[in-house]
Amino acid sequence: MSEGGAPTTALAARLVGLVEREATRLGFSGVGIADPAAIEAAGRDLARFVEEGRHGEMAWMAETLDRRADPRTLWREVRSILVFAFDYGPKTNPLEGPRGDGRGEISAYARNRDYHELIKGRLKEIGGKLAAEARRTGVACDLKVFVDTAPVMEKPLAQAAGLAWVAKSTLAISRKIGGWFFLGTIFTTLDLPTSEPETSHCGSCNRCLDVCPTAAITAPHQIDARRCLSYLTIEHAGAIPREFRAAMGDRIYGCDDCLAVCPWNRFAEAAREAKLIARAELVRPRLADLVELDDAAFRALFAGSPVKRIGRDRFLRNVLIAIGNSSDASLEGAVRRRLDEPAAVVRGAAAWALGRLTPEGFAKEAARRAAAERDGDVAAEWTASAIVGQTGSGGTG
């Protein structure tokens, strides 16, 4: 018997064994234990990231900086952090699939159910068993469960817990399972034996930096979220900045390129959890269908999926950019039907798409539409697009 959050060595080993067994039973592919004091350097990197404005419009990163940088500020009583990995790997490599086929690419992680609640529910189950077992033996145990949205630096914690390393892509990569996995944590007041931290295994590889379509990985281990297509298609609310539109290609929600190219994914397994295995209708859906979605149809198609979070208008913005990149003239009519949409973000993207599909058709409309348009940004699309139309270049920026 022991007191407070300090179990005896034998009991601690038993509790860790219980967590490992439960994690395996519930479909996790790995678990490790981190010391809450282990990520001080990461906290300093994060402060610099925010200072340089690399978080873009994700104001919550700056607002929660202190808590995010140090788990002990988030919860003073925390003594150990259990970090869990959950596979969501696609069946085939997204970079090897067909492209340029009039369809849009949704990131592998978003092709079925939202992972947040799924993983949180399972972590709560594990936490409940851990706490009950600790208390049964007279050891006090409080805990909190976090997945993604809490101010927690999950990747550095995964490294401290020996699960993976924070790689050049800035993602956590594992020697055993590659990089297609989510992270989640249980903070506990229990003193548990910590795992051996992982070290980097990127070596001289630079594939993720080379493949990134927007040079968002500005140096090894450093990302500028404002350039990342995942940020631009999901987090960013306004128009996609012109310089990134062509680079978006057919990506309509997130981007997988830096993961897909990583050689460590030869060890990755396809998702086993049914709720994360891709729904057929979310694997390369037809742009022609997506561009016709009204709000109700959008909600129905993406019920339970992470895509639903960005709302129909932001999603249509992405679809229209993909159409503008498709060279598929048969979509001109659908694009024209979006030119008078209530949302400026949709009207602006439609204007750009029209300019890309038919410079002549749209040069005819540009002057009238620019004059009639009540939103300054959308009006600017017509003026800029008119220039594209006149040069006939189609333009990328």
Site for ligand B12 in 15-54 (CB under 6 A): 42, 45-46, 49
CA–CA dist 286, 239 (Å, integer) = 22
Q: CB under 5 to 8 A by kind: which of ligand B12, ligand SF4, none does 206 bind?
A: ligand SF4
Minimal CB distance to ligand B12: which residue? 254
CB atoms within 10 A of CB 173: 31
Binds ligand B12 by CB under 6 A, chosen from 112, 170, 188, 318: 170
Q: How far is the CB of 384 from ligand SF4 (least distance, A)?
A: 23
- Residue number, 177 or 384, with CB nearest to ligand SF4: 177
Query: Which whole-number Å values give the CA distances from 33 to 3, 20, 92, 192, in the listed order?
Result: 21, 11, 32, 8
In whole angstroms, the minimum distance from the beta carbon of 332 to ligand SF4 comes to: 28
Considering only 11, 131, 171, 291, the residue that binds ligand B12 (CB under 6 A) is: 171
**Residue 312 DSSP code:** H
DSSP conformation class of 89: B
> CB 314 → ligand B12: shortest distance, Å?
14
Candidate list 148, 191, 289, 328, residue with the active-site label: 148
What is the number of other CB atoms lying within 10 angstroms of the CB of residue 242?
14
Query: Is 148 in the active site?
Result: yes
Question: Does 223 contact ligand B12 by CB under 6 A?
Answer: yes
- Separation of alpha carbons 143 and 259, rounded Å: 32
Alpha helix segments (H runs only) across the chain? 9-25, 40-51, 59-63, 65-69, 71-74, 115-136, 154-160, 207-211, 229-230, 242-248, 257-260, 287-290, 295-301, 311-324, 332-337, 344-357, 359-372, 376-391
Q: Is 259 in the site for ligand B12 (CB under 6 A)?
A: yes
* Residue 202 binds to ligand B12 (criterion: CB under 6 A): no
Identify whether the C-beta of residue 193 lies closer than 8 Å to the C-beta of residue 33.
yes
- What the block records as the tokens of 252 is 């309509």
Q: Kindly tell me which residue out of 80, 159, 174, 230 binds ligand SF4, with binding defined by CB under 6 A.
A: 230
Residue closer to ligand SF4 by CB (options 33, 228) is 228
Q: How far is the CB of 374 from ligand SF4 (least distance, A)?
A: 33
Q: Are 181 and 92 in contact (CB under 8 A)?
A: no
Interaction between residue 166 and ligand SF4 (CB under 6 A): no
Q: Say how far apart CA 303 and CA 298 lie, in whole Å.
A: 8
CA distance 4 to 275: 39
177 lies in the site for ligand SF4, by CB under 6 A: no
Tell me if 264 contacts ligand SF4 by CB under 6 A.
Answer: yes
The minimum distance between CB 22 and ligand B12, in angstroms, equals 19
Distance from C-alpha of 290 to C-alpha of 282, rounded to nearest angstrom? 11
241 binds ligand SF4 (CB under 6 A): no
CA 209 to the chain's CA centroid? 17
Is position 263 an interface residue for ligand SF4 (rule: CB under 6 A)?
Answer: yes
Exactly one of 23, 46, 217, 386 binds ligand SF4 (CB under 6 A); which one? 217
Q: Which of 110, 261, 301, 335 binds ligand SF4 (CB under 6 A)?
A: 261
Question: In a 10 Å sphere around its CB, with 0-12 CB exposed, 13-18 middle and 19+ buried, how is residue 203 labelled?
Answer: exposed
CA angle 396, 216, 151 (to 5 degrees): 130
Q: Does 344 bind ligand SF4 (CB under 6 A)?
A: no
* Residue 205 interacts with, from ligand B12, ligand SF4, none (CB under 5-8 Å by kind): ligand SF4
Between the alpha carbon of residue 213 and those of residues 185, 227, 317, the distances in Å are 31, 9, 19
CB of 311 to ligand SF4, least distance (A): 21
Q: Does 202 bind ligand SF4 (CB under 6 A)?
A: yes
Structure tokens at 140: 């006090």
Out of ligand B12, ligand SF4, none, which partner does residue 325 contact, by CB within 5 to 8 A per kind? none
147-170 per-residue burial string, b: 16 or more CB within 10 A, e: under 16: beebbbbbbbbbbbbbbbbbbbbb
Give the shortest CB-165-to-ligand SF4 separation in angstroms.
9
Query: What amino acid positions are annotated as catalytic residues?
Result: 148
> Residues in the site for ligand B12, rule: CB under 6 A?
42, 45-46, 49, 58, 107, 109, 147-148, 152-156, 166, 169-172, 179, 181-183, 221-223, 225, 228, 230-231, 235, 254-256, 258-259
Q: Which residues bind ligand SF4 (CB under 6 A)?
A: 167-169, 173, 202, 205-208, 212-214, 216-217, 223, 228-230, 255, 257-258, 261-264
